[in-house]
């Protein structure tokens, strides 16, 4: 059955060179992805528990980790033209492990989608009324779902409109509020809330965008060169972390609260609502898009049935909107702490396999514009490494959890390669699967 709407966007295949975009277009979306309301929320959370300069240091350390990881996995995605979940079949995980990666990414990013929808719903309900928070959350989530259903091109145009709008409107809101306070005092005063340690703060920063680092190939597969990946990553992450995060810290100190809705709307009313809507749209479309890619790979792997990405977007969008309506924001900090240790091993393993071990890289190179003919079903050592590295990041108290998990996964994977433990079990005929799924491609 032919899908009546939406675009598949090469969900299970390579992005051809003819479908790549200029780096500035990609940088606009990258900045939009990281500089949304969640970044204000993170800045406010840090500002509520830390002095400004300690919060700024936490953003700096977290940004460095995220940039290094994002550039490395982003270059892999650009070279191979594949999404994270599909690429992971040949970067250490095998077909079964890649399905797990796709499922974990899909579910976690659906959670982000719900969180952003709830933030927008709270603000719309507070200023406009008419509907309860859950009603506005659902309505907003469904609006973004329509955009994502039509794929990358619609999302690019959305970014062109909402990123400048966000900057202008947020600038107005911030200038109005900060003009009422002494900037020097805000930079030096004590935090208004309970103390937050620097390690806790950096963990929150890294956890907040670690999923974004993991799914970087979902975006960079549309890039034209590795240099473009580097440029857009540095611009997007550095500005997003420092500018938006630091503003969130200052506003938390000024208003003595970490409630983002109060912060943004307290002094500007309906302008604050527009800020929130613009911010949430430009990041939430990427949340849902990435979820649709990961879940599409999972469904195809588990069932052998290639469902169209647009339909997956619709289902995930409805579920994510319902999560927002149900109040997922209340578990925000716990959510970040989990992501900070569960996700770093994924890019670390991909980087170690692609650039160091290279056990399956020749297959990617030999396939040219197609997918490799076969993929391993499972790489058991990788699953064990993923678990051990996550536990190492969670329970080792020295250093930063996210960095500990990253380093542990990288070292363990390289060590496993050197002693011959990296073996694929079973083989999956990629060409046969694609051929069998072709008649159903747009179901």
Mean pLDDT by groups of 10 residues along the chain of 443 residues: 60 91 82 70 87 90 86 96 94 93 85 82 80 91 91 82 76 77 86 86 76 86 94 81 82 78 60 70 84 90 86 91 77 62 89 96 92 92 95 85 89 96 86 46 36
Beta bridge partners of residue 425, listed in sequence order: 378
Residue 368 lies in a domain: no
**b/e map 22-36, b = 16+ CB within 10 Å:** ebebbbbbbbbbbbb
Alpha-carbon distance of 83 to 242, in angstroms, equals: 28
Instruction: Report if residue 287 sits inside a domain.
Output: yes
Q: Is 395 part of any domain?
A: no
Residue 424 within a domain = no
Phi and psi based region of residue 398 (left: phi greater than 0; alpha: psi -120 to 50; beta: remaining) = beta
Domain encompassing residue 74: 20-332
CATH number, domain at 155?
1.10.4160.10
Q: What is the pLDDT of residue 76?
A: 97
Please check whether residue 34 lies inside any domain of the structure.
Answer: yes
User: Is 384 contained in some domain?
Assistant: no
Q: How many domains is the chain built from?
A: 1
Q: How far apart are CA 415 and CA 311, in angstroms?
A: 41
What is the pLDDT at residue 441? 37
**What pLDDT score does 426 carry?**
86
Answer yes or no: is 440 within a domain. Answer: no
Tokens of 415: 């060590």
Residue 384 host element (H or E): helix 380-395
Q: Is residue 390 part of a domain?
A: no
H-only helix segments in 50-90:
52-80, 84-87
Cα–Cα distance measured from residue 26 to residue 11, given in angstroms and rounded to the nearest whole number? 18
Integer Cα distance of 289 and 292 in angstroms: 5
The residues with which 429 forms a beta bridge, in sequence order, are 374
Closest CA to 405 of 333, 336, 339: 339
pTM of the model: 0.83
pLDDT at 37 (0 to 100):
65
Q: Are 327 and 118 in contact (CB under 8 A)?
A: yes
CA distance 371 to 12: 9
């Amino acid at each position: 059955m032919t899908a009546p709407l939406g675009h598949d966007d090469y969900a299970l295949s390579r992005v051809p060179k003819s479908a790549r975009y200029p780096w500035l277009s990609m940088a606009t979306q990258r900045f939009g992805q990281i500089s949304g309301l969640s970044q204000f929320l993170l800045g406010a959370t840090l500002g509520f528990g830390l002095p400004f300069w300690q919060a700024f240091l936490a953003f700096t350390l977290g940004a460095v980790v995220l940039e290094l990881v994002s550039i490395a996995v982003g270059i892999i995605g650009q070279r191979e033209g594949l999404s994270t979940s599909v690429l992971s079949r040949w970067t250490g995980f095998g077909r079964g492990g890649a399905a797990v990666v796709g499922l974990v990414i899909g579910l976690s990013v659906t959670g982000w989608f719900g969180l952003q929808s709830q933030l927008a719903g709270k603000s719309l309900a507070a200023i406009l009324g008419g509907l309860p928070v859950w009603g506005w959350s659902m309505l907003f989530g469904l609006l973004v779902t329509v955009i994502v259903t039509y794929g990358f091109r619609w999302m690019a145009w959305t970014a062109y409109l909402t990123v400048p709008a966000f900057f202008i409107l947020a600038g107005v809101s911030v200038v109005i509020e900060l003009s009422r306070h002494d900037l020097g005092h805000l930079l030096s005063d004590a935090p208004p809330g309970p103390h937050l340690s620097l390690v806790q703060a950096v963990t929150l920063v890294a956890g907040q965008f670690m999923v974004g680092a993991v799914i970087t190939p979902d975006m960079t597969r549309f890039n034209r060169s590795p240099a473009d990946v580097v440029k857009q990553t540095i611009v997007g992450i550095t500005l997003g972390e420092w500018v938006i995060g630091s503003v969130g810290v200052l506003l938390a100190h000024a208003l003595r609260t970490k409630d983002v809705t109060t912060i943004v709307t307290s002094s500007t009313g309906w302008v604050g609502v527009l800020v929130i809507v613009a911010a949430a749209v430009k990041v939430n479309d990427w949340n849902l898009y990435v979820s649709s890619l990961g879940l599409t790979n999972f469904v195809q792997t588990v069932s052998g049935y290639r469902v169209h990405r647009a339909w997956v977007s619709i289902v995930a969008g409805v579920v994510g909107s319902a999560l927002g309506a149900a109040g997922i924001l209340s578990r925000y900090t716990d959510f970040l702490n989990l992501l900070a240790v569960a996700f770093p091993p994924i890019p670390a393993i991909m980087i170690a396999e692609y650039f160091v071990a290279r056990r399956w890289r020749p297959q990617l190179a030999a396939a040219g514009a197609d997918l490799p003919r076969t993929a391993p079903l499972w790489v058991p050592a990788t699953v064990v490494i993923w678990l051990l590295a996550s536990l190492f990041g969670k329970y080792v108290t020295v250093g930063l959890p996210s960095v500990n998990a990253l380093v542990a996964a990288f070292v363990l994977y390289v060590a496993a390669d050197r002693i011959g433990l990296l073996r694929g079990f079973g083989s999956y005929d990629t060409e046969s699967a694609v051929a069998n799924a072709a008649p159903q491609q747009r179901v």
